[in-house]
Amino acid sequence: MKTEKEKMLAGEVFNVYDPELVRERQYARKLVERFNALGEVNPQASTEIIRQLFGHVGQNCEVHPQFKCDYGYNIYVDDDFFANYDCVMLDVSPIRIGKHCLLGPRVQLYTVNHPLDPQLRRNGAFGQSKDITLGDDVWVGGGAVICPGVTLGNNVIVGAGSVVTKSFDDNVIIAGNPARVIKENPYKE
């Protein structure tokens, strides 16, 4: 029989109030509170907290406060990552971010969702999740929301304020609610 954490990581319906998951969220929140309390006065200490919190951090990682996440260990960022102010990453499932990625202010990445069944949804005790993957050279404009299960290819630009509900291939500029391709990205490597 699977634990609630195993169900969570498998994208199955799980109990969000499972004691193990509650402890892990509390641990992450303590690190996040320490990180946010530092502000920008000690970048080296801030980066060290992010390295303790995230599942993987490449070279040159910069995250501005106020940052929020659920677990932290499900966040994997590669080299040259930048997250501007007020970023939220609900990392119930893994969030994988490639090299040279930029997140504008107030970008939100949500891997978690609630079940469609209203009986399971009524007390908020159950969740379900899907991974988010951003390829290399992705730039997500300020205030954009990336929904559960989205994969963005390499060299994708997401317009500010967009709501991304589905996946997109490489070299496109997307915008809107829901986001759609507005043009090909002319700068391809």
Helix (H, G, I), strand (E, B) or coil at 151: strand
Q: Is the peptide bond before 178 cis (omega within 30 degrees of 0)?
A: yes
d(CA 39, CA 80): 20
Angle at CA 60, nearest 5°, toward 138 and 64?
75
The catalytic residue positions are: 114
d(CA 84, CA 86): 7
φ, ψ (nearest 5 deg) of residue 116: -70, -30
Cβ neighbours of 56 (radius 10 Å):
13
What are the C-alpha distances in Å from 69 to residues 178, 182, 188? 24, 30, 32
Q: Do residues 168 and 153 touch, judged by C-beta distance below 8 A?
A: yes
Q: Pick the closest to residue 58 from 88, 25, 101, 87 (CA basis).
A: 101
Q: Do residues 144 and 165 touch, judged by C-beta distance below 8 A?
A: no
